[in-house]
């Protein structure tokens, strides 16, 4: 397979779940791939699983580290053809349990950090280039406990539209890729009590018209399409891979 042959691709949050599987599929399609992660042990494990991949330790929510990440990448690569902003904080809480610190941390990871990473990478981005922003079907539905998470993803999807208008003259396409309920390790990292997590899982399953959650591979295949030249006419759009949830 060679749909991404010759392309340099960065995936943030690439140590598990959708990010890890996307890295695997990008490599299979011929891309040169770098992934980021906060944990060195997570990066090391991903490196063993993927093989030939550039491992970059970086905190998606630390604004200063976005410039450092761009500098590190520029020291290894001549350009960047694909940027997949995948790292995210999936915390779900009742409204009354949010505090300012937790709110700001989630927004830094899901929205502010990605904005400044794109800014920092501008000099390295090729013409043409594809930026993929990981949204969520939660931005379109009223799922209980998702208020802050959904707001951050709605903001990211708005960036896909507005930055497209700003960057397309430079040959840079920006699109959103919005997963629906997907079986990933993130489901166990929502910050919920056990009974609340189970209730949320039940709510999620009930939302999916086709009766199951998605898989990381299904999302990774969609990311390959958005990264490839096959999607050259997609600009400022959102691709929902959600089992029909967003159509309800």
Give the residue carrying structure tokens 């949320």: 200
Two structure tokens written together for 129: 């280039």
Q: Is 149 a catalytic residue?
A: yes
Displacement of CA 160 from its chain's centroid (Å): 12
In angstroms, how far is the first alpha carbon of the chain from the final one?
Answer: 36
Residues 6+ apart with CB under 8 A from 43: 15, 35, 37, 55, 56, 57
CB 202 within 8 A of CB 181: no
Displacement of CA 41 from its chain's centroid (Å): 20
Q: Which of 8, 84, 103, 149 is catalytic?
A: 149
Q: What CA dihedral angle connects 162, 166, 170 and 171, to 10 degrees?
A: 20
Q: What are the distances in angstroms from CA 54 to CA 43, 194, 228? A: 10, 36, 20
Q: How many residues does the chain have?
A: 248
Longest dimension (CA), the chain: 50
Residues carrying an active site annotation: 149
């Amino acid at each position: 397979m060679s749909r991404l042959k010759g392309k340099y691709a960065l995936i943030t949050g690439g140590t598990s779940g959708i990010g890890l599987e996307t890295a695997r599929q990008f490599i299979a399609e011929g891309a040169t791939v770098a992934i980021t992660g906060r944990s060195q042990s997570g990066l090391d494990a991903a490196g063993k699983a993927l093989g030939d991949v550039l491992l970059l330790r970086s905190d998606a929510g630390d604004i200063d580290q976005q410039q450092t990440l761009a500098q590190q990448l520029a020291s290894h690569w001549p350009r960047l053809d694909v940027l997949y902003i995948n790292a995210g904080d999936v915390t779900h809480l009742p409204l009354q349990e949010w505090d300012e610190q937790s709110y700001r941390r989630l927004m830094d990871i899901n929205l502010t950090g990605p904005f400044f990473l794109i800014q920092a990478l501008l000099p390295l981005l090729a013409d043409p280039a594809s930026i993929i922003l990981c949204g969520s079907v939660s931005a379109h539905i009223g799922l209980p406990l998702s208020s802050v998470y959904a707001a951050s993803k709605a903001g990211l999807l708005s960036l896909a539209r507005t930055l497209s208008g700003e960057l397309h003259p430079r040959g840079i396409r920006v699109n959103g890729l919005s997963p629906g309920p997907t079986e990933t390790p993130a489901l166990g990292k929502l910050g919920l009590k056990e009974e609340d997590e189970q209730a949320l899982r039940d709510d999620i399953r009930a939302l999916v018209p086709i009766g199951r959650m998605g898989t990381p591979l299904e999302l990774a295949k969609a990311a390959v399409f958005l990264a490839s030249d096959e999607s050259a006419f997609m600009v400022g759009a959102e691709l929902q891979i959600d089992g029909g949830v967003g159509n309800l």
